């Protein structure tokens, strides 16, 4: 059977763009891609990239204060110029979107700036009614912020809107205890916003190493974030004099200029013809795929957040590359989801790879090597900030099962440590690596005595 395209990709985020570009430019496939919003998807347009730029912006007051303590005659005058930053941010996102569009054009991918849905296992229908057939369809539609089902929830914003605010709020409530909530609590606090954070559980960053979670939470509180654990929104409504009145589950009432829900993200699977075509979805509405990202319908594949495996950009990109290898290069390649290093850009930053102490202990006997100390740069000026470095080691095999770092630059450090750990490095491999001195990360190779064994 003749098809219009070898591959039709739905969704122009990190995963979709990578698959389309590589399939077209490196395997000669005839490829089309449809994106209804802006090319680049969540990561580039409303996620990782603008978030990281906001993290940078938010750290300057702390740096200037530190510079003063080091002897500089430094001051920050006035409040943060949000409109100026936002204008520069929008220009940068336009630039990046242009780069993505040019990459696709250069690779020979035909792009459609429209919503697309699956009409049948080999046909995609665009919003204007046009239809195209494809030998393979790749769904890479990502996810979307999920908000709690409470009255007036639409008064709140999500991470989609936070980059476009007209003005920065003076007083903000952030709901959630995951990546986005904790990152934005730090960002907004650094930008001079009075931040309150509600988290329904006992400690933020559920699923991560407990000691690291506590360490980060203590810092956030010391930095001025009003963190309320065991707390959720009970009711919210417009306040009479302006703002949003919030009643918490602990019985407190307060008024905020802005409320932001960072309460998880749901896969974008509604209204795109998946179920009608026979594609199975799981209980969370994510597309069910096998190790090769293939759905129940052999011609339809899915990658990235829409499959709800690991919601991280580099993972979607890996899945895209494995998809191209499998389908267009004849090399079936399963994605390896084990030992993925990642960073949470909280303040302080958190880098992590492998098992938490709790997970490792449930699996086998372990040794824990852990140190918390004041880094040289901050201790010099009498600051209380401490970093945390932690290695989890298998007693039986000596393999390093996990590494958790809370420190400035932890994201950079964990990328490097992640290579060794992915290679199966043992504690003794770490020990025989000479330290780089004086650095924070040298502690990773100088912790000689286990802090505890279990
Ligand atoms: P997360 O799943 O990380 O966190 C969601 C948070 O919202 C949890 O604390 C959860 O609580 C809470 N929550 C869920 N439902 C409700 C509710 N109804 N009421 C109150 N609280 C609720 O999601 P995020 O939105 O923070 O981020 C989505 C994903 O995006 C992340 O999982 C991550 O994979 C990715 N991401 C990665 C980043 C990075 O790499 N640095 C940065 C940002 C996002 P509970 O713990 O009790 O379930």
Q: Is the CB of 285 under 6 A from ligand 1?
A: no
145 CB-contact burial (10 Å; exposed 0-12 / middle 13-18 / buried 19+)? buried
For 117-142, b/e burial (b = at least 16 CB within 10 A) is bbbbbbbbbbeeeeebbbbbbbbbbb
For ligand 1, is residue 267 a contact (CB within 6 Å)? no
Atom of ligand 1 nearest to the CA of 232: 20
pTM: 0.97
pLDDT for the residue 454 = 82
Ligand 1 contacts CB of residue 200 (under 6 A): yes
Average pLDDT over every residue of 376-403: 97
Closest CA to ligand 1's atom 15: 263
Q: Indicate if the alpha-carbon torsion angle 218, 219, 224, 225 is positive or negative.
A: negative
Alpha helices in 32-175 (DSSP H): 41-46, 48-69, 82-107
Instruction: Locate the domains of the chain by residue range.
Output: 5-144+266-328, 153-263, 342-453
| Best probe residue, ligand 1, of 264, 316, 341, 415 (max atoms within 8 Å of C-beta) | 264
pLDDT in tens, 278-300: 999 999 999 999 999 999 999 99
Q: Going by CA atoms, what residue is nearest to atom 14 of ligand 1?
A: 263
Q: How many CB atoms lie within 10 A of CB 189?
A: 22
CATH numeric code, 153-263: 3.50.50.60
User: How far, in Å, are 98, 132, 139, 287 from residue 32 at the CA level?
Assistant: 17, 9, 12, 21
Are 5-144+266-328 and 153-263 the same fold in CATH?
Answer: yes
| Topology, domain 5-144+266-328 | FAD/NAD(P)-binding domain (3.50.50)
Question: Distance between CA 153 and CA 147 in Å, rounded?
Answer: 7
Tell me the pLDDT tens digit for each residue of 406-446: 999 999 999 999 999 999 999 999 999 999 999 999 999 99
pLDDT level of residue 372 (50, 70, 90 thresholds): very high
- What SS3 class is residue 355? coil
Which ligand 1 atom is nearest residue 177's CA?
Answer: 9
> Cα of 264 to ligand 1 centre, how many Å?
4
Reduced to 3 states (helix: H, G, I; strand: E, B; else coil), residue 56 is helix
Of all protein residues, the one whose alpha carbon is nearest to atom 25 of ligand 1 is 264
Q: In percent, how much of the chain has pLDDT > 90?
A: 98
Cα separation, 276 vs 274, in Å, equals 5
Superfamily of domain 342-453: FAD/NAD-linked reductase, C-terminal dimerisation domain (3.30.390.30)
**Percent of the chain scored above 70 by pLDDT?**
100
Just list the catalytic residues: 437
**Rounded distance between C-alpha atoms, residue 421 and residue 409, angstroms:** 18
User: Ligand 1: distance of its center to the CA of 179 in Å?
Assistant: 6
Span 75-99, pLDDT tens digits: 998 889 999 999 999 999 999 999 9
């Amino acid at each position: 059977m003749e098809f219009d395209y070898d591959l039709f990709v739905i969704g122009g985020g990190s995963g979709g763009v990578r698959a389309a570009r590589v399939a077209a430019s490196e395997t000669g496939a005839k490829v089309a891609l449809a994106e209804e919003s802006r090319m680049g998807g969540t990561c580039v347009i409303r996620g990782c990239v603008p978030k990281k730029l906001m993290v940078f912006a938010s750290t300057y007051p702390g740096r200037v204060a530190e510079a003063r303590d080091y002897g500089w005659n430094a001051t920050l005058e006035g409040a943060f110029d949000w409109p100026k930053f936002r204008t520069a941010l929008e220009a940068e996102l336009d630039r990046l979107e242009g780069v993505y569009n040019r990459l696709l054009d250069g690779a020979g991918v035909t792009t459609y700036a429209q919503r697309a849905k699956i009409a049948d296992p080999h046909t995609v229908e665009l919003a204007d009614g046009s239809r195209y057939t494809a030998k393979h369809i790749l769904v890479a539609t990502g996810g979307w912020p999920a908000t709690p089902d409470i009255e007036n929830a639409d008064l709140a914003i999500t991470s989609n809107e936070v980059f476009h605010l007209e003005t920065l709020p003076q007083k903000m409530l952030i709901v959630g205890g995951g990546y986005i909530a904790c990152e934005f609590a730090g960002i907004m606090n650094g930008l001079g916003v009075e931040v309150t954070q509600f988290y329904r559980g006992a400690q933020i960053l559920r699923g991560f190493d407990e000691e690291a979670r506590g360490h980060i939470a203590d810092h956030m509180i010391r930095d001025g974030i009003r963190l309320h654990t065991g707390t959720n929104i009970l009711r919210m409504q417009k306040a009479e004099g302006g703002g949003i009145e919030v009643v918490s589950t602990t019985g407190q009432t307060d008024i905020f200029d802005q409320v932001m829900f960072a309460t998880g993200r749901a896969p974008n699977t509604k209204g795109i013809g998946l179920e009608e075509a026979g594609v199975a979805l799981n209980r969370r509405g994510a597309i069910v795929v096998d190790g090769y990202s293939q759905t129940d319908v052999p011609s339809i594949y899915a990658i990235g957040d829409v499959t709800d495996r690991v919601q991280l950009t580099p993972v979607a990109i890996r899945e895209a590359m494995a998809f191209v290898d499998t389908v267009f290069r004849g090399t079936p390649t399963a994605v390896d989801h084990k030992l993925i290093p990642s960073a949470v850009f909280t303040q302080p930053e958190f880098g992590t790879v492998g098992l938490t102490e709790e997970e490792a202990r449930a699996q086998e006997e372990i040794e824990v090597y852990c140190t918390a100390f004041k880094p040289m740069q901050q201790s010099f000026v009498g600051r209380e900030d401490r970093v945390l470095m932690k290695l989890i080691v298998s007693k039986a095999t000596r393999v390093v099962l996990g590494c958790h770092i809370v420190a400035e630059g932890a994201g950079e450090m964990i990328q490097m440590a992640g290579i060794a750990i992915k290679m199966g490095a043992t504690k003794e491999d770490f020990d025989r690596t000479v330290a780089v001195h004086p650095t924070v990360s040298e502690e990773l190779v100088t912790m000689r005595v286990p802090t505890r064994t279990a």
